[in-house]
Amino acid sequence: MKADDYVKSAVRDFEDKPGKTLWIPLPASKRVKRLLVLGSSKGPISAADFRKIIQAATVQLKSAQFRSATLDLEAFSVADQDGYQTTRLATAIISAGLYRFDAPKQDEQPPSRLNRIVLHVDGRSRASAARAVRHANALDAGMAFARDLGNQPPNVCNPTYLARQARSLARAEKTSCKVIDERQIEALGMGAFMSVTRGSDTPGKLIIVEYRGGKRGEPPIALIGKGITFDTGGISLKPGPAMDEMKFDMCGAAAVLGCARAVIDAKLPLNLVAVVAAAENMPSGKASRPGDVVTTLSGQTVEILNTDAEGRLVLCDAITYTERYKPKVVIDVATLTGACIIALGSHASGLFANDDALANDLLKAGDFIGDRAWRLPVWEDYQSALKSNFADMANIGGREAGAVTAACFLARFTRKLRWAHLDVAGSAFSGGAAKGASGRPVPLLFQYVLDQA
């Protein structure tokens, strides 16, 4: 039987729908050993169906025992997308799906790894496909960097480790890294930051990575990440079940460093500042107490009603510090509130902003790359929940609208800035059997920065 007839016979009863797959072993005489048939539909397919198709293919590729594969992108026509967009989307899905963390296990042999994927495109699309692959490879490096940071155990990934990893980025051209220690943090007047890190024996760090790919003096895009490398809740101690997942409380920091890695690798022609507020939130004789009042770098005072609302305390001082770079925009990223998980689950990150154009650009970037966000309000109406009898504000606003009042707290430090806040508490990591860092929102952030470039 000829190879073509053999394939036709094999697919005769195949259910040709997005998400369905079929392996066909080919004759030994053929250079291609196996053919993976992907279900589709007639005519142009939607971006959602294309995602489903590529995700199904990735599941099969991850378990396959071979080193290379070829994906025929010419076989797909995706509605409202050109070759560049289709290539970017396919490669983003594949690279995210093929990620593996080299966990420190002694009883497990590493699986055979697919390490090369060839994309087949029409010759007329070669230039745009090459550009898409270049951007995809940069995003893949940034995603892996962020996920590796998130997946490290908390006895490895502490503020000092984050600083060391950030310094590794400064080996690239046009890139530098500065690390500010606790003595300097206190001298600067970052009382909110110090109220969190003081309870830990592991010193906190403010980490700044600068990439200067744009013109001298051009305002940078500033990304700020919450880097709580372990969050016990402090004196307001968290319950024991699932506390191990609090190692993921630095995934905001991992995301901004991962985005910086992607921007550096892609050599984008703009300026970027990535700021990481890194600390542990631990209970001790030096830890903050509920009822303490601290003075922030901005001069505003905060009554700490709950020491488990610590992310906003390190972030508010980091936001004020970032003003000195005169940024074009500021985007902070944090696993900030459980309330955001209740509101949006794991499918979308919560987006808050004081600038409609910035919010729309971020939403558009997320929709394109499949790393979506949903905008929630930071209306003045919610600010009354933060009222304190003893300070300019309290650090929590009660049970209602917890994600919103947390964003409203941060908004008090952004009056001079075009600002957006991404609450990634539900999207940055998974629990249960699939436990691990997702790398989100690196795709959204990188796509946004790419669009600006």
Which amino acid is present at 425? A
Structure tokens at 60: 């099969």
Question: How big is the chain, counted in residues?
Answer: 453
Q: Which of 52, 205, 261, 312 is catalytic?
A: 312
Q: Is 51 a catalytic residue?
A: no
End-to-end CA distance of the chain: 54
Structure tokens at 62: 């991850």
Dihedral sign, Cα of residue 230, residue 390, residue 353, residue 266: negative
What's the alpha-carbon Rg for the chain, to the nearest Å? Answer: 23
- Give the position of tokens 């392996």: 23
Q: Is 106 exposed, middle or buried (0-12, 13-18, 19+ CB in 10 A)?
A: exposed
Give Cβ neighbours of residue 276 (< 8 Å, ≥ 6 apart). 162, 166, 205, 206, 207, 208, 209, 224, 225, 227, 253, 256, 257, 318
Helix (H) or strand (E) holding 119: strand 116-120
Contact status, residue 211 vs residue 271, Cβ threshold 8 Å: yes
Give Cβ neighbours of residue 5 (< 8 Å, ≥ 6 apart). none
Taking Cα atoms as reference points, which of 204, 212, 187 lies closest to residue 315? 204
Distance CA 185, CA 320 (A): 12
- Give the position of tokens 């436990």: 435
Cα separation values, 388 from 82, 391, 393, 394, 433, Å: 54, 6, 5, 5, 42
Q: Which of 167, 198, 238, 267 is catalytic?
A: 238
Q: Is 312 a catalytic residue?
A: yes
Active site members = 238, 312
